[in-house]
Amino acid sequence: MISVCIPLGKGSEWHDNELRLTLRSLEKHMKIPYDVFIFADPRNVPEWLQNVTIRKVKRTYPDKAKERFGGVRHYENFFDVLHKMEAMVGDPDVNEQFILFYDDTHLNRDVNKVEDLIVYVAVHKYEDFPEAYERRRGKWHKTVMAAMDILKRKGRPRWNYESHLPRFYEKSKWQELLKKYPVDEQLIPYSPSTLYINWYYDGPTVDLLRDDNYVKAGFYGERFTKDVGAFSSANKKVIEEAIDNRMFINHNDMGLSKPLKDYLFKLYPEKSKYER
């Protein structure tokens, strides 16, 4: 049994249809025993959910970071992700092996064994663009570098694993990391996947810059279609070509076009056991 843990934020402009389709894709393609946990903001628990375990995780902000930045909550969403990770790792009902799934990611191929989920996709590594990383422009880059600074001190590799794909984790390993680096002691929250995967593994299973991308079809808006792993969602034809034989379909709000919305509902038309 593997636990699928899905964090939910403050709300969805698409009325949580992302989550609905994610759960339909799991039911369609997960051929191994699994259970589903939703770690949700108490203000956003979809009423239609059933047959899942719901954990409500209230948003909090570390006093140490708040004091350091004069009361301004610069990294609220990033800390919320780490607090939800703490909740997953500390939950006695979550299995030792769990996968952190997102509500904007959908399975596109069958999972027949746990090993199918142990896919660690790197965007690139620090040494590819050291100057860009060191400039630390924007909050997201600062959180990636918070993880990489820890890894540098420990002599570990520094691959960027923030490809926004599901992550296979082990509770005991996360417990070790969280004990070493407590969330509420951080001034800038570290990117969890970059810290965890580099800490325990020497390299990725897929390097998006160098390897054939059989893992991910990402839709992030038309101006990003030249990026590795990113595709146009302008019409049904380009969407079909993009997802062909790839394991995961992923999107953000900019890439979630009407053609993609329509296509996803045609791909997963049947109501799942997780919907009332």
Domain harbouring 174, CATH code: 3.90.550
- Whole-number pLDDT of residue 221: 97
* Cβ–Cβ < 8 Å for 105, 21: no
Joined together, the tokens standing for residue 266 give 């045609």
Choose among 253, 161, 252, 164: nearest CA to 207.
161
- Decide: helix, strand or coil at residue 125: strand
Residue 241's CB is within 10 A of a number of other CB atoms, namely: 11
The answer to whether residue 26 is domain-embedded is yes
Q: Which residues contact 12 (CB under 8 A, 6 or more apart)?
A: 18, 19, 44, 103
Residue 266's CB is within 10 A of a number of other CB atoms, namely: 9
Is 104's pLDDT higher than 80?
yes
The answer to whether residue 158 is domain-embedded is yes
- Whole-number pLDDT of residue 229: 86
Indicate the length of the chain as a whole number.
276
- The residue segments making up the domain with residue 83 are 2-211
- Whole-number pLDDT of residue 100: 97
Is 228's pLDDT higher than 90?
no
- For 116-165, the pLDDT digits (tens) are 999 999 999 999 999 999 999 999 999 999 999 999 999 999 999 998 89
The mean of the pLDDT values for the chain is 96
As a dihedral over the C-alpha atoms of residue 193, residue 199, residue 202, residue 207, rounded to 10 degrees, the angle is: 10
- Whole-number pLDDT of residue 6: 98
208 compared with 19, residue with greater pLDDT: 19
Angle at which helix 192-200 crosses helix 76-90, to 10 degrees, equals 50
pTM listed for this prediction: 0.95
The answer to whether residue 253 is domain-embedded is no
How many structural domains are present in the chain? Answer: 1
- For 182-197, the pLDDT digits (tens) are 999 999 999 999 999 9
Choose among 22, 29, 24, 28: nearest CA to 5.
22
The answer to whether residue 276 is domain-embedded is no
- Whole-number pLDDT of residue 188: 97
- Whole-number pLDDT of residue 10: 78
Report the chain's terminal Cα–Cα distance, integer Å: 24
Choose among 123, 133, 142: nearest CA to 224.
123
53-79 burial: b if 16+ Cβ within 10 Å, else e:
eebebebebbeebeeeeeeeebbeebb
Is 11's pLDDT higher than 80?
no
Joined together, the tokens standing for residue 248 give 């995961």
Is 86's pLDDT higher than 80?
yes
Which residue carries 């146009």 as its tokens? 232
The answer to whether residue 57 is domain-embedded is yes
The answer to whether residue 255 is domain-embedded is no
- Whole-number pLDDT of residue 89: 98
- Whole-number pLDDT of residue 12: 85
The answer to whether residue 77 is domain-embedded is yes
- Whole-number pLDDT of residue 108: 97
- Grade residue 95 by pLDDT with cuts at 50, 70 and 90: very high
Joined together, the tokens standing for residue 11 give 């709300």
The answer to whether residue 240 is domain-embedded is no
Joined together, the tokens standing for residue 185 give 């002691």
- Whole-number pLDDT of residue 164: 84
Choose among 81, 108, 77: nearest CA to 194.
81
- For 21-79, the pLDDT digits (tens) are 999 999 999 999 999 999 999 999 999 999 999 999 999 999 999 999 999 999 999 99
- Residue 92: phi, psi to the nearest 5? -65, -20
Tell me the pairing of strands 124-125 and 159-160.
Answer: antiparallel
- Whole-number pLDDT of residue 212: 81
